[in-house]
Amino acid sequence: MKQTVKDNFILFRNIKSVAAPYGEFVISSNLANKLANINPATRILQGGDDHDELFQIIIGQQEGIQKREVGKGIDLSNPWEIIFEKSICGDAKDNIFPILRWKASTGTKNFKVTVKHIEKALAKHGYKFDNITCAKILQDKDALVNMLLALIEVTKQSTVTVKDIGNHFKHNLRLNLLSEKNMPIDCVKQFDTIFDTLKESLINDEFDFDLIKKPNNNVNKNIKLLNDSVDDNLVADILKS
């Protein structure tokens, strides 16, 4: 889901942890930087409005029922890093297999490529494992080949060829990358048909805050978590705006 987060789209996750006891918003790095630099002088000089400041209040970056900041109730999206990691290391939940697996010399234990191996391979070329680096490598064939060669070296799997793991990587990339090109045409057409029937209401209808403020008999404890993170006064202010 974090792959879907863009500058104009956010994600709210109904999770509960020490860092995010009332759920977590996932936003893009660009949006986080923009919100961090909002001040009255900038708004006046640029002729902006109050929407950005209102959004700050909604996600808890200004005084409200819950104070959030990056790392504490707000997470930054890292779509390219996620795609890169899952395409190399695999994902058991999604039935995606790692591009490198091997047995111990004793034959009694199985190993696979991990994030630690990715970090070591990138370090050989002076890179850090982050979203920007992963985006650059995925758009540069030579950089990707060098990365795969470094992975073979750090995992000590000299019998494996770049072609073999490269083909596996491309296969995993198609499974991981949320792109219309990687989806069956029938599924795309089905989505387009359903979206066309709902488009007008999605764009024009006002959101009913009662849906999250007044749980019905069918909702579970996750809805209560979302309710507790939204202040009644905040809802009233939003409806006025």
Task: Report the Cα–Cα distance between both ends of the chain, in Å, rounded.
Answer: 30
Query: Do 59 and 51 contact (CB within 8 A), yes or no?
Result: no
The sheet carrying 24-27 orders its strands as 11-13, 24-27, 73-76, 69-70
- Two structure tokens written together for 126: 């002076």
Query: Do 173 and 83 contact (CB within 8 A), yes or no?
Result: yes
Query: Do 57 and 234 contact (CB within 8 A), yes or no?
Result: yes
Ordered per-residue pLDDT tens for the chain, 241 residues:
777 777 777 788 887 888 777 788 888 888 777 776 655 555 555 555 555 555 555 565 555 556 777 778 888 888 899 999 999 999 988 889 999 999 888 878 899 999 999 999 999 999 999 999 999 999 999 999 999 999 999 999 999 999 999 999 998 988 888 777 777 788 888 888 888 887 777 777 665 655 544 444 444 555 555 555 555 554 444 444 3
Beta pairing partners, 11: 26
- Pairing verdict, β 69-70 and 11-13: unpaired
Residue with tokens 């409005």: 49
